[in-house]
Amino acid sequence: MHIIDHPILEKDDRKVIQFYFNDEPLNAKAGQTIAAALMANGIKKLGVSRKLQQSRGLFCASGRCYSCFVTVDGLDHVLSCSTLVEDGMKVYSNLSDPEVRRGRE
């Protein structure tokens, strides 16, 4: 849920944009991270752990713990806490061990 009347900060006038999570269209605010936009839509589970397939979500929100991986526009292993959501972005849960990205050859 979004905070409409923040006790301290000014009114939030960020533009509403649309993105997709597991093909479902969702609203976000421009300037939000993917993890926050999902949380605003009540989605906390972002993927599963690689070995035991346990639920994983946002933990540190600072790009350090690597708990919040998602797949973004075909790219696996993207940190949803440190990546801004974009209009039309297609985000998928991280449900399996991703392909390791190689350097340019």
Partner 1 sequence: MNTDLLIVGGGPAGLNAAYKAASNGVKTTVIDKWFTLGGQLKQQTQFYNNLPHHFSKQRGFQLADHLVDRLKALDVWILENHTMIGAYQDGNVGVTDGSDTFPVNAEKIMITTGAMEEPEIFPGWTLPGVMTAGAAQILINRERVLPGERALILGSNDFALEVASQLHDCGIKVKGIVESGSELLCQNDELAVKMRDADIPVLLNSVIESATGKGEVEEVYVSTDGSKSLYDVDLICIAKGMTPILEPFEIMSCDFTYQAKLGGWLPRYDSTFKTTNPSVYIAGNAAGITSMGGILLTGEMAALSVLQALNATSSEKIEKEKQYLWDELYRIESTENRSVRDARLDVIKDLHYETGVQLPAYLDSVFGGLING
Residues in contact with partner 1 by CB under 8 A are: 1-3, 6-9, 12, 29, 32-33, 36-37, 39-40, 44-46, 49, 54-65, 67, 81-82, 84
Nearer of residues 14 and 88 to partner 1, judged by Cβ? 14
Q: How far is the CB of 53 from partner 1 (least distance, A)?
A: 11
Nearer of residues 46 and 89 to partner 1, judged by Cβ? 46
How many other CB atoms are found less than 10 A from the CB of residue 9? Answer: 8
Q: How far is the CB of 23 from partner 1 (least distance, A)?
A: 19
Q: How far is the CB of 100 from partner 1 (least distance, A)?
A: 16
Tokens 């991986």 found at: 69
Q: Judge contact between 26 and 73, C-beta under 8 A.
A: no
Cα(65)–Cα(105) distance, rounded to whole angstroms? Answer: 29
Give the residue from 90, 68, 87, 80 showing the smallest Cα distance to 29. Answer: 87
Nearer of residues 45 and 88 to partner 1, judged by Cβ? 45
Cα(1)–Cα(66) distance, rounded to whole angstroms? Answer: 24
Nearer of residues 3 and 23 to partner 1, judged by Cβ? 3
